[in-house]
Structure 1
Amino acid sequence: MAATPNPAMGNANMDGGAPPTPPLPGTDMTGICFRDQLWLNTYPLDRNLVFDYFALSPFYEWTCNNEQLRLRSIHPLDMSNLSKMTGTEYVLSEAMEPHLFVIRKQKRDGPEKVTPMLTYYILDGSIYQAPQLCNVFASRLGRALHYISKAFNTTASKLEKIGYVDAENEAAASESKANKETIDFKEIKRVDHILTSLRRKLPPAPPAPDFAVGYAPPSTAEGEKGSENQQADPQPATVDPIIDQGPSKRMKL
């Protein structure tokens, strides 16, 4: 294994200044990022050296089983030795050299019994702690509730404005209706007055004409009976005695 800088010398950050006191391993450190540009410029970032680079970060726990293998000059990711030990350990779960490496922290209780604890990933030389699934759900739900509450507030404000406008329209409509009814009453009185004055000026209507003397309208029953007799007994057509007299006769001399 290639020699790497001594971790006891301290961790250098991006700006080259002294890093602040790191928090205890295992706590929530999703808000921080570690990057050692001097180390990245000196050594390649691959499967063999990625754990040495991870050991420089504040995410590394010095009491893990990997550190014991390093003290015995054994590669810290050797699974044949890690599976025989118990306690906290780090394993390389995924690697896409040289851009992405995923390191999982877990507790080993036996050769086949492990309990995952935390996950870290190295993206283009920067080390991050991956958030837990419960925190991701809580963050997404909080964001969704925030936008839902904002939408309800916006809708409520718009409905209040609509109700205010409707109230104003109803008040204006009631006022116009009252004014219209008042005007209609005045117009009705005016029209009645005009009609009364015209009726006084016009002469009286003439009386209805009487029927002629001796006129008697036929009764309905007799009219119907006469029509039935005409239909039952049709009379022959009358012949004109002047026209239809046969051939003309000459006088004999």
Structure 2
Amino acid sequence: MATTPMPPNVVAGNPGFEGNALVAPPPPPLTDMTGICFRDQLWLNTYPLDRNLVFDYFALSPFYDLTCNNEQLRMRSIHPLDLSHLSKMTGTEYMLSEVMEPHLFVLRKQKRDSPEKVMPMLTYYVLDGSVYQAPQLCNVFAARVGRALYHISKAFTTAASKLEKIGYVDTENENATLESKAAKETIDFKEVKRVDHILASLQRKLPPAPPPPPFPEGYAPPATAEGERGSETPQAEPQPTAVDPIIDQGPSKRMKF
């Protein structure tokens, strides 16, 4: 008959005593151990990593809590993941939730209050023989938001530095443009006098302009502004309506071809 393995701190069926001295149980592992991992290459070379032995491998890691219900089942030579016995107990326990042999095993640490009521606490996974603690969802969100804010802040800093350089160059170009424009708009009076002298000499060399042709017979020039102002006075006589001698000749005076 196989004997039940006894831990070193249990003597004569009294846990917590070693001889006549009281030995305190080891403290439970820390809550946040996401920065470390566990791997025992000697164990992996000796035993296969499957759903039946993965808990024994996990129990060697610092993530394992010796005060859990699974450890009590191991002391009674019962498989530590036997749900028929775990559901009848209360307290902390480990449960194998996901399995992808032989690469990935997910174990969930939870607190059982009744056969139907459990509260998840932490999650661990064994990936290709290495044991890790999965980070909590709030920590994942905090890390992602912090990383996004860092990149956004860096992008704004880079954009601000480039805009400062562009603004400095634009200011220099604008000043240079204003200076060149002011230089172009400066009037050279000597050049103006020289151009006037050339135009006057050319005008003297040209023949005088011929007189304008006379108006047709019966055509009266339109009244000027002075004539209109004079017509507003009561002494002015009404002016006859101007008649175009070419257009207003009537049908009898038009030429026949």
Q: Normalising by structure 1, what TM-score?
A: 0.72
The aligned counterpart of 1:219 is 218
Stretches of structure 2 that go unaligned for 5 or more consecutive residues are 9-25, 220-242
Q: Which residue of 1 aligns with 2:223?
A: none
Instruction: Work out whether 1:164 is the aligned partner of 2:168.
Output: yes
Deviates further, 154-163 or 50-59: 154-163
- Between the aligned residues of both structures, percent identity stands at 74
- What is the Cα deviation at residue 185 of structure 1? 5.6
Which ranges of structure 1 fall in alignment gaps of 5 or more residues? 9-21, 235-253
Matched with 1:53 is 57
Alpha-carbon distance in 2 for matches of 1:69, 1:80: 11
Q: Which structure has the highest helix share of the two?
A: 1
Match of 1:142 in 2: 146
In the alignment, is the contact (CA less than 8 A) between 2:38 and 2:130 conserved in 1? yes
For residue 39 of structure 1, what is the aligned residue in structure 2? 43
Report what 1:155 is aligned to. 159
Higher CA-based Rg: 1
Structure 2 vs 1, CA of residues 186 and 146 (structure 1 numbering), >3 Å: closer, same or farther?
Answer: farther
Structure 1 residue matching 2:186: 3-state secondary structure: helix
Deviation per CA, 1:177-206, whole angstroms, max 9, x where unpaired?
11111256654343224334555x659948
Query: Structure 2 length normalisation: TM-score?
Result: 0.71
SS of the residue 1:95 aligns to? strand
Once residues 213 and 95 of structure 2 are traced to their aligned partners in structure 1, the CA distance between those partners, rounded to angstroms, is 129
**Partner in structure 1 of residue 99 of structure 2:** 95
- Runs of 4+ deviating beyond 2 Å: 5-8, 183-190, 192-199, 201-211, 220-232
Q: Report the number of matched residues.
A: 213
2:28·2:66 contact (CA, 8 Å) conserved in 1? no
Cα-to-partner distance string for 1:193-243 (whole Å, 9 max, x where unaligned): 4334555x65994895999xxxx96324695687644459x9xxxxxxxxx
CA RMSD of aligned residues (A): 3.5
